[in-house]
Amino acid sequence: MPTLPDVLAKLSFLTATPAIVGLVITASLIVVIRDWRLSLAALSAQYVLVGLLLTRLIQPQVAVTKVLIGALVCVVLYLTARLASTGEEEPTSEQEAAEDSRSPVRAIGGGTPLADFAFRLLAALFVGLAVRSLSTRYPLPEVSSNIGFACYWLISLGLLVLMLTDEPLKVGMGLLTLITGFELFYSALEHSLSVVGFLGIANFLIALAIAYIIAASRAEVTAEERG
Amino acid sequence: MLTGPLFLIVLPLAVAAVVYLLRRWALIAASLASATVFVMASLCLRLPLDRSVSVLGWEVALGEPMMVLGREFALEPAGCSTLGFIYLIAVVAFLFAWRISQGRLFFPLGLVILSLLGAAVMVRLFLFAVLFLWIASLVAVLIIQGERQGPSLRLGSVQATELRAGPGRGALRYLVMVSLAIPPLLITPWLIDLQAVNPDNLALLHYAAVLLAVGFAVLLAVVPFHGWVSAVAIDAPPVVAAFLFTVTNAVVLLLMLNLFQSYPWLSEDPQVFGLLRLGGLLMAVVGGLLAFAQQDFGHLLGYAVLGDMGCTLVALGAASPSALTAALLQVAHRSVGLMLTAMGLAVVRRCAGSDSFASLAGVARRLPLSSAGLVLGGLSLAGMPLTAGFPSRWAIYRLLPAPGLAFAMLLSGAGVAFGYLHGLSTLLGPSTESKVKRDPLIASLMILAMIILCLGLGLRPQWLLPPIQRVVESFSLVARR
């Protein structure tokens, strides 16, 4: 049975440019796609790719722990979104669509209008250009240039998500993306296991808080609908 | 032997677990939570830090440091007073929540938050203090969102629905803003350590100061990062909002003062105090202006707190022993006014089903004590004479170096006072709503006690001066500028 170092050695080809490209794609998907399943899949992939990059900065065991925490976060968000989307149907009229816009889980399972998609894509492209410029002019200390680019990219796109939406699930994904980008950089600065533990707890609590907000908002909307 | 840090961190956590199981029985949960916190407050405010004493057969050494995973936790005089203060506020909040529910999770999670904030105050390293503060804030999101009793739920009217911030918006904004504040604060210790190795590289200290400014600006809701305050005020149960504004603000201010004390380069930089004054001025002006225009007590509470916190920052920016004393006195007095107005608001929301002025005409006739508490607490936040908020405000006005600053603070207070007086005129107006319930007896008695305290502190502010002066003595570097 292959050990962890064996597995990581086999995946070592992924720890450079492919992982960075993967992160560019996953973070972009979180920004432009409104379907929660795709976004959550992108977030999961993002945790794996960041874990691979982290093996270059910290002990592999710690990197794997961070991936596991990411997996746990995604499970929490998946279960919540699935629960919240149960019974949600596509609006059939303008009035229903307007009512639906007040729901905390709107757009969960819904399609993406073309204009919205184009706007988000354009915004992501502009941010991408800014990130490219930032990472060249102000390289982050203690990390290589491509990891610095990945940190800037994740933090910027996380911020972009926070600016573009007020849906709890999407906000949670944006926040987690931003924190992931920060952790990628911070892992190079602070190697303390206690800090890793604290950051893991914080990630998990963010997911729990988002889940709680979605569930409570859903209950509130249901109560309002019942009069 | 029981060390202070162990007791103050572990006890609330252990009781929180029990209270969680008993959360359906509000009386038992509230009694247990408030009794625990009262014991902790008594220990912090009465026991000496320099020696151990016997309490009920237990040897308690409050000032004895404790090591956990290589990290040292110790209770310093300033931290001890701060914790004693926030525990007392928590006792009032828990007792009131027994009669006017603030969500069933408030008791257990409130205890967890107090435990984490205690750890943030006592841990030696700033890095870990920030992490504890973050975790406490993430837990707080759950009580902000928990069992909201927004106006729309009660009335179901279009008008009331429009007033509400949106499902979970307060909790969401708080979560996002606090999480955005943490990364800059976490990087700062690394920069400071790096500068210690490279003493010639002063740019590192500059970066550290900028990151600290950004992080604290977000945590203290300095304009333009102030949106979460009003969102939490409108979205959270009122006493929960007051609890959070009081305890987290006190701990954040303490961490900031500890930094000033630990790093002389920070407290000797005039730009830092200039930034504090500017940030505070912006908060006071924006808080006062927006409070002036509000049409509901929820938003008004948020902007009144914002304006008052701005005055505190302006006073800290004056950087003198008297100004620091006035600022800390204001933090203590604000907690009384804030808790009083929140208690009044909680009863009004519960009995009248709304907090918008339009829906509260004549409510003061049915809810006289709650209405009085609501308005008097607000006037205290505005710094009106005869209320708890006045003495510290007056001291701050007199200590400010520029008359223009004092005038701006005065106008800010006037804006908040106008907002509350506008609300009062509606509360006293002709009644349109006949279904408003009467003042609940026990909650009203608690409000009455707070009204007496608020007026008492307005007339005799020196009651709180001795403990505050002990805190000021701990920050000699800040006060000696």
Residue A96: pLDDT above 80? no
CB–CB contact A213 B176 (8 Å)? no
Residue B153: its pLDDT value, please?
41
Q: Which residue has the higher pLDDT, B333 or A11?
A: B333
How far is the C-alpha of A198 from the C-alpha of A205, rounded, in Å?
Answer: 10
Q: Provide CB contacts within 8 A for A143, sequence distance 6+.
A: A57, A151, A184, A185, A188
Q: Which residue of B has its CA nearest to A217?
A: B167
pLDDT tens digit at each of 481 positions of chain B: 778 888 899 999 999 999 999 988 999 999 999 999 999 999 998 888 888 888 777 888 888 888 888 888 999 889 999 999 999 999 999 999 998 989 889 999 999 999 999 999 999 999 999 999 999 999 999 999 876 544 444 433 333 333 344 567 899 999 999 999 999 999 999 999 999 898 888 889 999 999 999 999 999 999 899 999 999 999 899 999 999 999 999 999 999 999 998 888 888 888 888 999 999 999 999 999 999 999 999 999 999 999 999 999 999 988 888 899 999 999 999 999 999 999 999 999 988 888 888 888 888 888 999 999 999 999 999 999 999 999 999 999 998 878 888 899 999 999 999 999 999 999 998 876 667 777 788 899 999 999 999 999 999 888 888 888 888 888 876 655 5
Q: Do B146 and A216 touch (CB under 8 A)?
A: yes
Euclidean distance between CA atoms B419 and B294, whole angstroms: 7
Half-sphere exposure of residue B70: CA atoms within 13 angstroms, side-chain side: 4
Mean pLDDT of A95-119: 58
Q: What is the pLDDT of residues A121-179, one digit of tens each?
A: 999 999 999 999 999 999 999 899 999 999 999 999 999 999 998 899 999 999 999 99
The DSSP call for residue B25 is S
| A9 compared with A214, residue with greater pLDDT | A214
CA–CA distances in Å: residue A137 to residues A20, A111, A148, B366, B475: 19, 39, 11, 65, 40
- CA B145/CA B140 separation, integer angstroms: 9
Q: Peptide bond before B224: cis, by omega within 30 degrees of 0? A: yes
pLDDT-above-70 percentage for chain A: 87
Q: Does B145 contact A194 at a Cβ distance shorter than 8 Å?
A: no
Q: What are the structure tokens assigned to B455, written together?
A: 């007026």
Distance of CA B331 to the CA centre of its chain: 8
Question: Is the model's pLDDT at A197 over the cut of 70?
Answer: yes
Contact across the interface for B141 and A220, Cβ inside 8 Å: no
Q: Are B218 and B225 in contact (CB under 8 A)?
A: yes
Rounded Cα–Cα distance for residues A221 and A215 (Å): 10
Contact B422, B389 (CB under 8 A): no
> Which runs of consecutive H residues, i.e. helices, occur in B263-320?
264-267, 270-292, 297-318
Are the beta carbons of A202 and B138 separated by less than 8 Å? yes
Mean pLDDT of chain A: 85
Which strand ranges, in their side-by-side order, compose the sheet holding B53-55? B2-3, B58-61, B53-55
Residue A109 has pLDDT above 60, yes or no: no
As given in the structure block, the two tokens for residue B201 are 């590289």
Name the strand (E) or helix (H) holding B431: none
Residues of chain A with C-beta less than 8 angstroms from the C-beta of B187:
186, 189
The total number of structural domains in chain A stands at 1
| The pLDDT value given to residue B152 | 44
Smallest CA-to-CA distance from B370 within B349, B344, B351 is with B344
CB A66 within 8 A of CB A48: no
Q: What is the pTM of this model?
A: 0.91
Q: Cβ separation of B135 and A216 shorter than 8 Å?
A: no
Residues of A with CB under 8 A from a CB of B: 102-104, 162, 166, 168, 171, 175, 178-179, 182, 186, 189-190, 194-195, 198-199, 201-202, 205-206, 208-210, 212-214, 216-217, 220-221, 223-224, 227
Sketch the domain layout of chain B as residue ranges. Answer: 269-481
| ipTM of the complex as predicted | 0.90
Q: Residue A174 in contact with residue A30, Cβ under 8 Å?
A: yes
Q: How confident is the model at residue A8 (pLDDT cuts 50, 70, 90)?
A: confident
Beta bridge pairs of residue B72: B67
Let me know how many helices (H) and strands (E) chain A has, helices first: 9, 0
Chain A residues with beta carbon closer than 8 angstroms to that of B183: 179, 182, 186
Question: Is the predicted pLDDT of residue A192 greater than 60, yes or no?
Answer: yes
Across the interface, of B135, B138, B167, the residue whose CB is closest to A221 is B167
Instruction: Supply the range of the domain harboring residue A63.
Output: 4-225
Residue B166, min C-alpha distance to chain A (Å) = 8
Complete DSSP assignment for B355-424: -BGGG-TTHHHH-HHHHHHHHHHHHHHHT-TTSTHHHHHHHHHHH-SSHHHHHHHHHHHHHHHHHHHHHH
Give the amino acid at B282. L
Interface probe with B: pick from A164, A212, A218, most Cβ of B within 10 Å: A212
